[in-house]
Amino acid sequence: MTTASTNIGTLVTRTPGLHGGSPHISGKGITVRRVVTWYKRGLNAEEICDRIGNLTLAEVYAALTYYHANKTEIETDLAMQAAEAKRLESLHGGNQPASHE
């Protein structure tokens, strides 16, 4: 019996025009940045799978591996995203009432 194997190098990719060319899970469009955000909030790989829903454990680990192998790139991306969010918040007042969803 033969088993199919996955080339782990194919699990994370970049697509011009998608997420500004940021690395993402192949075929899913979920960015490494999104996976790392949950990871930095204290979720483990299994919890990230549960939270995001349509990712396999291998895909989450591939994203985390990409992050650890390219930490400066992803940390810079996260910092730029946070700065842009802060800039937009200041432009729009940032004093919106809290949502009670």
Per-residue pLDDT reduced to its tens digit, 9-59: 889 999 888 888 899 999 998 999 999 999 999 999 999 999 998 999 999
Supply φ then ψ for residue 46, to 5 degrees: -65, -40
Which two three-digit tokens encode residue 85? 């969010």
* pTM (two decimals): 0.80
Asked if 62 and 25 count as a contact pair (C-beta separation under 8 A), the reply is yes
Does any domain span residue 95?
no
Does any domain span residue 17?
yes
Does any domain span residue 46?
yes
Token look-up 């454990």 returns 57
Does any domain span residue 20?
yes
Does any domain span residue 28?
yes
Asked if 21 and 9 count as a contact pair (C-beta separation under 8 A), the reply is no
Residues 49-93: tens digit of each pLDDT: 999 989 999 999 999 999 999 999 999 999 998 998 898 888 887
User: Is pLDDT at 99 greater than 60 in this prediction?
Assistant: no
Burial of 73 (0-12, 13-18, 19+ CB in 10 A): middle
